[in-house]
Copies of this chain bind each other. A is one copy, B any other.
Amino acid sequence: MALSKKPVTGMKDILPEEMEIRDYVISVIKETYGKFGFTSIETPCVEHIENLNCKAGGENEKLTFKILKRGEKLKIDEAKEENDLVDGGLRYDLTVPLVRYYSAHAAELPAPFKALQMGNVWRADRPQRGRYRQFMQCDIDILGEASNLAEIELILATTTTLGKLGFKNFQVRINDRQILKAMASAAGFTEEQYDDVFIILDKLDKIGEEGVKEELAKAGYADTSIQTFVGLVTSLQNAENPIAVLQNDLVAKGNLDASVVEGFEQILDSVRASKGDYFELVFDPTLVRGMSYYTGTIFEIAMPEYGGSCGGGGRYDKMVGKFIGNDVPACGFSIGFERIIMLLLENGFKVPGADKKTAYLIEKGMSKERVSDIMKEAQAARANGQTILVAMMNKNKKFQKEQLNAQGYEEFKEFYKEELKH
């Protein structure tokens, strides 16, 4: 078979210029999250196929890259369907592996456990511009913290990191699944209808209030329910004091627990009190977020330069229970690492404080002794903190220097066979 030079469909090679930015962003993320007490962990990229199919991954489960069984376990003749042929798959997110990890190691881990994961995930999505089948995710999660301290810390850590990377004027939108459900319940929808109703609500910023009403009507819901529901949403959107609206319209009428609103207010107040002015924390009653595993607060980052979301997360208190039987409170926030990198690249981001770089160019045919001396000099300069590239001098030295210039080498030291030339 002929060899293929291109990367596999939908995945990409990362060239040095982008890699330099990625390495820098990774180091800022690790350092900043470290200051908040998050500790790095890692899980294998390959996960049990049964865990990947456990319904915690939503639509992503359909996009799993599956791994063929090996040796005697692979029985091609007897195989009827995909799952007969595979025993593992590449993880499509970092949440399912985190929950498995926590279930396996809880006894060895601090409580609460503040985890930072940076790692690739894979989804066999239809390839499209700027969207790849292998991409880096960057998640922080707090397991074992029932209070809203978790949300506050996650939002502060994530926004501090984005601030350090120079992002500003962005929004963190926040909502709570329990608020969504209370609105739906107050409007008379049944629990089975919630998800369907929320999916339509999610389109509000695209199709507008009337569009949402139309779609809900088309889905056959009662007009009074639709009017009440959309009325609640818009009154929350337009309220100067939405917390008061929550209390008057939902808590007072028995649709929402007072503690939910208190906790929600605590998050808003604490984050707003300690955040810089480079971002806004906004209560968005239309925020839904796709994953069905969320049980409480949900949040999302909206960047002015970018239409879609640049990160998000929420509380998922019921997922650990799937593995170990009893529930453990859990809350996470994921940065859209690839989008962040894309935005930095598009904005011509330069990694700050890059060292001065020097290139040593050696004429061909230099004596053994001189080469040894030059290498010694290079080693001493490196030990001194300098970046030194040593290369043989090309015939076209001008072109070589131009190329090196483009790589950031501004100073040159040329070594010739005859000292006089130097």
Query: Which residue numbers of A lie inside 8 Å of B, CB to CB?
Result: 1-8, 11-16, 19-20, 22-23, 27, 30, 34-37, 39-48, 50-51, 53-54, 65-68, 70, 74, 76, 79-82, 85-88, 90, 100-101, 103-105, 108-112, 114, 120, 122, 124, 134, 145, 147, 149, 152-153, 156, 160, 262, 265-266, 269-271, 273-275, 322-324, 357, 359, 362, 364, 368-369, 371-373, 375-376, 378-380, 382-383, 385-392, 403-404, 406-407
Q: Which residue of B lies closest to A322 (CB)?
A: B3
Q: Are B379's CB and A7's CB within 8 A?
A: no
Q: Which of B16, B27, B43, B359 contacts A27 (CB 8 A)?
A: B27
Asked if residues B65 and A41 are in contact (CB atoms below 8 Å), the reply is: no
Known: A111-B403, A382-B160. A65 touches B46 (CB 8 A): yes
Chain B residues near A380 (CB-CB < 8 A): 274
A35 to B384, CA, bound (A): 10
B273 and A11 within 8 A (CB): no
> Which chain B residues lie closer than 8 Å to A372 at the CB level?
266, 269-270, 273-274
Residues of chain B within 8 A (CB-CB) of A70 are: 65, 124
List the B side residues contacting A1 at CB < 8 Å: 50, 53-54
A193 to chain B, nearest CB (A): 29
Assess whether A390 is in contact with B19, with CB atoms less than 8 Å apart: no
Q: Check if A76 sits within 8 Å of B67, measured CB to CB.
A: no
Candidates B43, B44, B407; contact of A110 at CB < 8 Å: B407
Report the separation of the CA atoms of residues A287 and B273 in the bound assembly, to the nearest whole angstrom.
Answer: 65
Contact in complex: B388, A35 (CB < 8 Å)? yes
* Cβ A388 vs Cβ B37 within 8 A: yes
Contact A82 B74 (CB under 8 A): yes
Instruction: Known contacts A23-B30, A35-B386, A362-B149; decide if A3 and B323 are in contact (CB<8 Å).
Output: yes
> How far is the CB of A32 from the nearest CB of chain B, in Å?
8
Quote the shortest CB–CB distance from A393 to chain B (angstroms): 11
